[in-house]
Structure 1
Amino acid sequence: MMTATDLEQMLIARLVRERGGTSQIWQRALGRVIVRDTATHAHCNWDVSLSGTDVQCAAIERLLDDVRLEHSIVAAG
């Protein structure tokens, strides 16, 4: 099972590859992956705390839609 840290690194790598920029820029825009309890979030137990520009947030949200289908449940860590 993928961990929150693994997911965060994968998201940043894909954003750099697909949108350009640096990993530091995308890390700041993405924020941290927040892992929730699967008892209350059975379909997808994670979220992120976006803090980027409108353009960055839109790019991240589009990526998240795809990634949630592949990795809906992650482990803390």
Structure 2
Amino acid sequence: MTNDGMIDLLVARLLRDHGKSKHHWRKAIGPIRLYSRDTHPHCNWNATPSGSIRDVALIESLLDDLRFTHPLLTRF
């Protein structure tokens, strides 16, 4: 999966489960940062969500869940 695909997946899940808008969730999630697999062999991506305490908690929880099923992302 790509980093753009991960953002799409996050937005779809958050929108389905918690409402609001795609724009709201994309802005709250922010960019997905990719790291080298040489230095991060078990999980090579991270996001730093922003927004309300509730939104950040929802996003962080979903990020934790998705790291188990999608630990490695690609750029393309």
Tell me which interval the TM-score lies in, with the shorter structure as reference length. over 0.9
Runs of 4+ in 1 over 2 A off after TM superposition: none
Residue 51 of structure 1: how far off its partner (Å): 1.5
Q: How does 1:1-77 map to 2 (within 5 A)?
A: 2-77=1-76
- Name the SS of the counterpart of 1:58 in structure 2: helix
Q: Identity rate of aligned residues, in percent?
A: 37
In 2: Cα distance, 1:55 partner to 1:31 partner: 16
In 2: Cα distance, 1:64 partner to 1:6 partner: 13
In 1: Cα distance, 2:53 partner to 2:9 partner: 21
Q: TM-score, normalised by structure 1?
A: 0.94
Corresponding residue pairs, total: 76
- Name the SS of the counterpart of 2:46 in structure 1: strand
Residue 25 of structure 1: how far off its partner (Å): 0.4
- Give me the CA root mean square deviation: 0.8
Residue 3 of structure 1: how far off its partner (Å): 0.5
In 2: Cα distance, 1:29 partner to 1:63 partner: 13
Unaligned runs of 5+ in 2: none
